[in-house]
Structure 1
């Protein structure tokens, strides 16, 4: 009977984990900062998916490279986690692992503009300011402004300073 690997998460020292040579995924710097903030504030909530290389006694990443990289770069996270990552191990041949990597990357999808508008609207209406929203959701000022504009609600702009360029 098949049992999903996530039910056997193990704690692996980061020195025993390595990147694969085929991951085409790239995360932009703002999203990497948001991932780091997420791990700092929430901890690791998802295991790294790896394949165990018996001959090398190493775990090769199938999914989770950026969570791994975050620990490598952030001393506070590494120390807090005792230098270990949660790992879920899969046992598949290379071509299947490559397909798994692509599926994991593509399955994450993209944010819905409509849902993001609703979230921004709710946050503003609950009294949170632009600085809080940008810091905690990982948005820059232009993105936040665009989402506010798309809602069409003037209340979202009540605390915004506007240029006097149209003075008659």
Structure 2
């Protein structure tokens, strides 16, 4: 099936009371990441609409993707007030099996963070003078994560100009001196 036009060109502001979660989403977000999502929506606003199916008989929007953004709107008083209880939504018109497949595709397509790039970001923030507390709050990490990433990037910097060889399954350090 080919779309005539992507749904994102028709974002609607829907009262959160007219939206309901689906009963098949396997995605779970841990409390620290939920706090980070709330902070992200507070600081940046909703930057991506939720995806829903509109049930005409029930006059209800059923979530396909965006459950956790929906939860933040429902549970964060400051965001609910700022957004006037409205959630940005795009509508897809698919049967239940295709909506389930869409949910899984949306979940799985988000990917994971590359450790090397995360180390680089933490190092850049550190070099820019951001405190560990600032990084923890704004990037959603705990103190141990920040410390580990700083240690990893610090070790990488320490050995950046050295060569290593691996003969016979043994790591051998070759000094440039």
Deviations 1:63-104 (A, max 9, x none): 000000001111111111011101000001100000000000
CA distance in 1, matches of 2:152, 2:110: 24
Closer/same/farther in 2, CA of residues 22 and 100 from structure 1, 3 Å limit = same
| SS at 2:53 equivalent | strand
Q: Which residue of 2 aligns with 1:70?
A: 72
Q: Which has the larger radius of gyration?
A: 2
Counterpart residue number, 1:5: 7
- Please give the per-residue CA displacement for 1:19-56, whole angstroms capped at 9, x wherever unaligned: 00000000000100000001111111110100000110
CA RMSD of aligned residues (A): 1.3
CA distance in 1, matches of 2:112, 2:156: 27
**Unpaired segments of 5 or more residues in structure 2?**
158-177
Query: What does residue 150 of structure 1 align with?
Result: 152
Structure 1, gaps ≥5 residues long: 156-168
- Residue 39 of structure 1 is matched in structure 2 by 41
Please list every run of at least 4 consecutive aligned residues from structure 1 whose deviation after the TM superposition is greater than 2 angstroms.
Answer: 152-155
TM-score in terms of structure 2 length: 0.85
Give distance in 2, aligned partners of 1:82 and 1:53. Answer: 23
| Number of the residue aligned with 1:79 | 81
Per-residue deviation, residues 136-161 of structure 1 (Å, max 9, x unmatched):
00000111111011112599xxxxxx
